Chain A
Amino acid sequence: MQLTEKQKRNLELQAIEVRQSIIDMLEDAGSGHTAGSLDMADIFTALYFHVAKHDPKNPEWPERDRIILSNGHIVPVRYATMAHAGYFPIQELKTLRTFGSRLQGHPERTHLPGLETTSGPLGSGLSQAAGMAYAAKMDKRNHHIFCLMSDGEMQAGNIWEAAMFAHAHALDNLIGIVDRNYIQINGRTEDVMPIEPFAEKWESFGWRVIEINGHRMDAIVEACEAAKAHTGSPVVIIAHTIPGKGVPEIEFDHEWHGKAPSQEQQDRWLKDLRTLKGKMSASHYE
């Protein structure tokens, strides 16, 4: 079902709040991955606030949709979205990457309810998601498994082992979402190790491919709904995103893959986001 204008606006405002939290927590931590966390804020917001079946008060609810984050380094966006969705107090985001925190530098399932798995080393999340999808089919459960991946990790062979497996077993309850932001630590993906022709790779592995602008709420929701409705094969959503999205001065810059903002940058970026949010809210009430 299409988003109403009001739903779309609310999700967009929510995504801005998630971005604000990401900037805050990364500055507090003094390290972490900024670009990918920011560029996935829209998709995480759409998943947690509209698309996925889940219950923050009951993270182990058996019928929940599973959200697997394969590229664990962008976990700030997941923590921020989960906190805003009610899994834990927003205040706790300040503990990111600190000793004794439930918010480990890379996500650890045993530390925080609702994470589903432990990840960070790239390339193995899709296999885990496929295992969950396979088990769900064995048990005739009808939830979906969303697996979020980076484009850089498409260079890992394990991804394609999983892609082959999911196709072989027609895991149509499995939905991959690739953050196609064209950057990785060493530079642009196509310079480091090209992954193009990318959509064709997935198609040739037997997956249904949907390509979207990963910052358009209606497109994200529509693609996820189409993926859930699709039967007979797994689906991958290739989400074209802008690394650092929401902070114009760092957008597209691969140097921001793995570093955190300074306090001065934090102040400036948050001010810009507040202004943007103000404009959006104002236009909402026009």
Chain B
Amino acid sequence: MLNPQLYLHTDTLQGGDMPRKPSRDGFGKGLVELGKRDDRVVALCADLAESTRMLEFKTIFPDRYVELGVAEQNLAAVASGMAAAGKIPFIASYASFSPGRNNEQIRTTIALNHMPVKIIGSHAGLSVGPDGATHQALEDVGLMRMLPHMTVVQPCDAEQARLATEALLDVDGPAYVRLSRAAFPVFTTAETPFEIGKAQEMYVTENPQAGIIATGALVHTALLAAHSLRAEGIEVSVMNIHTIKPLDIPAVVALAKRAGALITCEEHQVAGGLGSLIAETVAAHHPVPMEYIGVHDQFGQSGEPDELMKHYGLDVSDIVRAVKKVIERK
């Protein structure tokens, strides 16, 4: 059942009819809130103010919005300079370009230089849809989680994206936030707690036969899978890893011990993504059989988000199958 301590939306397990929003909407709201709270907060954008949802901040705080044009390397390094001068810059683009194109500037001028720049990568994952592979970042989590000093956050829905954005103000040093273009169910609520670095067990069961560890939009898919498995008499727990780094290692290891088998779910390359991360973690602390839902060494392509999720094996039925498979391997 849904973890009552998290106050998730009562219709969470109903599937299709949930209110949907893209997580970038929550970022936009959170940024405006931060703008009101702290005048060190500035917003820098590379010609994508509307689609990254920086537009509202720009409208309310025009003097604290900086337009860079189509220049992502400059975006990162100018932000580093502004941070050195005491600002807290949020930089927004599509994840393919930032942290994709400007990876070295992020590494040297932000991460190694330990500057509190918050990198917002929107339009991450397959769910970008019709724009196709060039714009579907599937490597960004890997790039960012390899960098020392970097905090990496992928909220599970728009509401959590708002809270995560606001929480970044207190993160000492750089951070990366991964956001979606497509609208996904908003199943967390204003009452749902959020703390950077603290995993959330969203679907709880006393004796799980497997644990599903998911991030981003796949968390909701995993909840639907858990609900459907329960109807078949298979009990699983679902954990939301909104903070990929620093990982809540005790929570992950505890779930591995209780469930004895894990499945990871992400809209990202498994290599370098959540799949790698959880495998590294449990291999060191408590090895258990694992299955990986995610993209396996492929690029994306054009299509509607639903079509792509099905094609690449990121659907409810894929998770259900993976759970059954991993339980057999126990």
User: Which A residues have a C-beta under 8 Å from some C-beta of B?
Assistant: 108-110, 116-121, 123-125, 127-136, 138-139, 157-158, 161-162, 164-165
Beyond A108-B112, A124-B105, is A117–B73 a contact (Cβ under 8 Å)?
no
Tell me if B231 counts as interface (CB < 8 A to partner A). no
Q: Which 7 A-B residue pairings sit nearest by Cβ, starting from the closest? A: A131-B81, A127-B77, A135-B85, A161-B74, A128-B81, A131-B78, A161-B71
A132–chain B nearest beta-carbon distance, Å: 4
Mostly helix, strand, loop or mixed at chain B's interface? helix
Report the contact-size class of chain B (Cβ under 8 Å from the partner): 20 to 34
Q: Are A110's CB and B74's CB within 8 A? A: no
Closest A residue to B67 using CB positions: A168
Asked if A121 contacts B69 (CB within 8 A), the reply is no
**Cα–Cα distance between A132 and B90 once the two chains are bound (Å):** 15
Known: A120-B108, A121-B104. A135 touches B71 (CB 8 A): no
- Are A158 and B63 neighbours in the complex by a CB distance under 8 Å? no
**What are the residues of chain B within 8 A of A165 when measuring CB–CB?**
68-69, 71, 74, 78
Cβ of B188 within 8 Å of any chain A Cβ, yes or no, is no
Nearest A residue (CB) for B104: A121
Interface contacts beyond A108-B112, A110-B113, A127-B77: sample of 19 additional A-B pairs, CB < 8 Å, sorted by A: A110-B114, A117-B81, A117-B109, A118-B108, A128-B80, A130-B74, A131-B80, A131-B84, A131-B85, A132-B81, A135-B82, A135-B85, A138-B42, A138-B87, A157-B73, A161-B71, A161-B73, A164-B71, A165-B74
Q: A110-B113, A110-B114, A127-B73 are in contact. Are A119 and B108 (CB under 8 A)?
A: yes
Q: Report the separation of the CA atoms of residues A204 and B73 in the bound assembly, to the nearest whole angstrom.
A: 21
Q: Are A118 and B77 touching (Cβ within 8 A)? A: no
Which positions 36-91 of chain B face chain A at CB distance < 8 Å? 42, 63-64, 66, 68-69, 71, 73-74, 76-87, 89
Q: Within 8 Å CB of A158, what residues of B?
A: 73-74, 77, 105
Question: In whole Å, how far is A134's beta carbon from the nearest beta carbon of chain B?
Answer: 6
- Asked, given contacts A132-B84, A158-B73, A164-B71, whether A127 binds B78 with beta carbons under 8 Å apart, the answer is yes
- With A136-B85, A161-B74 already in contact, the answer to whether A128 and B69 are too (CB < 8 A) is no
Q: Does B113 contact A131, Cβ atoms closer than 8 Å?
A: no
Given the interface pairs A129-B81, A131-B85, the reply to whether A117 lies near B74 with Cβ below 8 Å is: no
A contact residues around B83 at 8 Å (CB):
131
State the Cβ distance, B310 to closest chain A Cβ, in Å. 39
With contacts A121-B108, A164-B69 taken as known, whether A134 is within 8 angstroms of B113 at the C-beta atoms is no
Contacts of A157 in B (CB 8 A): 73
Q: For chain B residues 94-142, which have a beta carbon within 8 Å of chain A?
A: 104-105, 108-109, 112-114
Q: Name the CB-closest residue of A to B86.
A: A135
Give the distance in Å from the alpha carbon of A116 to the alpha carbon of B80 in the complex: 11
Within the assembled complex, what's the spacing in Å between the Cα atoms of A97 and B20?
Answer: 55
| Interface pair B85/A127, CB less than 8 Å apart | no
Indicate with 1 or 0, residue by residue over B3-34, a CB within 8 angstroms of chain A CB atoms.
Answer: 00000000000000000000000000000000
CB contacts (< 8 Å) of A125 on chain B: these are 77
